[in-house]
Amino acid sequence: MGGLYVLLIVSVIPWRSATIYSGGVDAVVIAKALIAVIALGATLALAVRTRERVAVGIAPAGVIAVVLLVSVLGSVLAGNDSSTIVLVGRMFVVMATILLLLTCVPWVTSIVCLLAAMASVAVVAGVTGVPTLASTGRLGGGIPEIHPNELAGLVAAPIIGLVVLMLRNGVRVWRLTATVILVGIAVASGSRTGLLAIVVGIVVAVLVNGIRDRSVLYMLIGVLPLGYAIASFTDVFSSLATRAGSNDTSTALDSRFDVWRVVLGWDWAEWQKWIGIGLSAKKIPVDIKWRDEQVLDSSWASLLAQTGLIGTALIAALIVWCVASALISSRRRWLVAPLLTLVIIRSVTESGLVDSATAFILFFTVASLLTHRSRHADDPVGPHYDVVEGRRSRQASLT
């Protein structure tokens, strides 16, 4: 199962960090398509051999399918339909693969396998990308060649998963070691928004799970003084905040505002205002000194440009529904709520929420698991991650 998620991630993750797909066929496009088809075929074979089925709702898939079709319509009118159709085709393959995987195993097992796959790809990319840390000051991926922000996004969800596991089942050496390694990758990437999303996700995890084992308190007693020492006697946090004194914070914010101004400035009578210009639109023409194009670096700006108001409204409604479902689902809130928080925060400052990307894989998986059919399915919960609570229940019964 974990290997299938690795194939799925490799099929959508960027292989060339400085390249934006604009159509055509080359070796990379063919290789990624082949890997995606192999993942789908292997998942289909697994589903055929699985005797018991886990019920999964398809409402999120239906909503996203409508958004993708709206994007195709916009791309036809804009004249970039070939590249958009390729991306939309990839996303349909990804959705089909995920839905099949979710029907084969309990939901916890599926999420654990996904997070393990993300961590595995991130570690390989981080280790092979160490030279980028020396040359640019930020850790990016080597194999595959991914941007530092993408690398931070890969480790964010596994970090949240490990924190939830420790909150519910206590601190263990391997869990703490894995968390430290992944946090180190996130810090080395220099992605401030990624680290912010991780911190907020951890806070949500603590709120919905509580602290159930004293080993977590011992860990906090050790971590807080260490964090204070690092902040007081090193420049790690200051360098991360300013990126060695650069002014790229204001530059990045200005760039995001420039894109929002252009997209929101489209006339209400123009068709692209309502249906967008296609999923392959990654840059928007801007009338600014020093540059005439700006990359879409927010999922919501991307949605407005690629799918228009119609697609954006549908995805916004889906997000609101996911939040409501996560809050009312006592059986799944403990893990799904922190992951959903991570997805929402990253969607504001990074693209990929509705795209052929790892952010979409996580978003679609969480959304599918929050459907009424999935939440009320009579399926086992998978691996047991509540040993502490069970032990306390037995102790209470004895006393």
Q: Are 101 and 5 in contact (CB under 8 A)?
A: yes
Phi, psi (rounded to 5 degrees) for 178? -60, -40
In sign, the C-alpha dihedral spanning 19, 23, 27, 32 is positive
What is the per-residue pLDDT for 396? 37
The helix (H) or strand (E) run that includes residue 294 is: strand 291-295
Q: Are 35 and 43 in contact (CB under 8 A)?
A: no
Indicate the pLDDT class of residue 93, thresholds 50, 70 and 90.
very high
| Cβ atoms within 10 Å of 261's Cβ, excluding its own | 12
Lowest mean pLDDT among 143-152, 163-172, 292-301, 337-346: 292-301
What is the per-residue pLDDT for 359? 94
Question: Span 255-266, mean pLDDT?
Answer: 75
Tokens representing 169 are 């089942």
Q: Which residues in 67-178 belong to E strands, given as ranges?
A: none
> Whole-number mean pLDDT of the chain?
86
Burial class (CB in 10 A: 0-12, 13-18, 19+), 1: middle
* Nearest alpha-carbon partner for 165 in 196, 122, 119: 119
What is the per-residue pLDDT for 98? 97
What is the per-residue pLDDT for 326? 94
What is the per-residue pLDDT for 379? 52
Indicate the pLDDT class of residue 398, thresholds 50, 70 and 90.
very low
What is the per-residue pLDDT for 392? 44
pTM here is 0.89
Comparing 133 with 258, which gets the higher pLDDT? 133
What is the per-residue pLDDT for 263? 82
Question: Does residue 46 surpass a pLDDT of 70?
Answer: yes
In a 3-state reduction of DSSP, which class is residue 281? coil
Question: Span 273-294, mean pLDDT?
Answer: 81
In a 3-state reduction of DSSP, which class is residue 248? helix
Check residue 290 and give left, alpha or beta (phi > 0: left; psi -120 to 50: alpha): left
Question: Span 276-288, mean pLDDT?
Answer: 83
Question: Does residue 209 surpass a pLDDT of 70?
Answer: yes
Question: Does residue 117 surpass a pLDDT of 70?
Answer: yes
Question: Span 382-389, mean pLDDT?
Answer: 52
pLDDT tens per residue, range 290-324? 667 777 878 898 999 999 999 999 999 999 999 99
Q: What percent of the chain has pLDDT over 90?
A: 58
